[in-house]
Amino acid sequence: MLAVKDAGFISPEEYLQGEPLSEVKHELIAGHVYAMAGASANHERISGNIYRKFGNHLENTPCEPFGSDMKVRVGDNFFYPDVIVDCHFDDSEPYFTETPIIIVEVLSRSTRRTDETVKLMSYITIPTLQEYVLIQQDFADIQVLRRSEGWLPKHYFLGDEITFESIGLTLAVEEIYHRVQNDDVAEFLIDKARATVM
């Protein structure tokens, strides 16, 4: 779980003044700040794979990816998603955006509940958002919720391909889990190796 830094109420203005001075990143949810936990190697691998693939695809377009240091503002709440894509970034507010078209969260045991409940309910109120992507790191399961499908979840597994409709990019699930160390990935790679020698 994210640790509450201060039980007192914090306004968005106070949060925006204090956050750049802090050595630890915090999210602001319903007036309370929550310290962000450190990420595992698998978490960083998945985030890096997505960020790199999105960035390469979006080169020379108005849309650009941002990593986990860019905040998303939803009303008076501020979140640090793992990866976002924004096509209308306003440089007058260099530390946050309110106009992402896709948001990606890599789940961990400590953040899964927040990502699947509080963040989900907040993110889907963003008018520009088209897709919300939840990626498990301990096993291979990617959940994509799309505005065009009424935010109903679709699951993708190793061997599948995912089309991120908001940016017109199709990726194999295997590419997203490149170098990730978990049982599902290990078994998939063994089966794939066996298939190539048969």
Q: Phi, psi at residue 104, to the nearest 5°?
A: -120, 130
Tell me whether residue 34 is in a domain.
no
Three-state DSSP class for 43?
Answer: helix
Tell me whether residue 140 is in a domain.
yes
pLDDT at 27: 95
pLDDT at 115 over 90: no
pLDDT at 122: 96
CATH of residue 94's domain is 3.90.1570.10
Tell me whether residue 23 is in a domain.
no
Tell me whether residue 112 is in a domain.
yes
Q: Domain limits at 65?
A: 39-197
Tell me whether residue 162 is in a domain.
yes
pLDDT at 172: 98
Counting the structural domains of the chain, the total is 1
Q: Phi, psi at residue 85, to the nearest 5°?
A: -125, 135
In 3D space, the residue among 66, 61, 37, 35 whose CA is nearest the CA of residue 51 turns out to be 66
All residues at 6 or more sequence positions from 107 whose CB lies less than 8 Å from its CB, including other chains: 115, 116, 134, 135, 136, 137
Tell me whether residue 1 is in a domain.
no
Tell me whether residue 32 is in a domain.
no
Contact indicator for 147, 129 with CB cutoff of 8 Å: yes
**pTM (predicted TM-score):** 0.92
pLDDT at 7: 53
Tell me whether residue 159 is in a domain.
yes
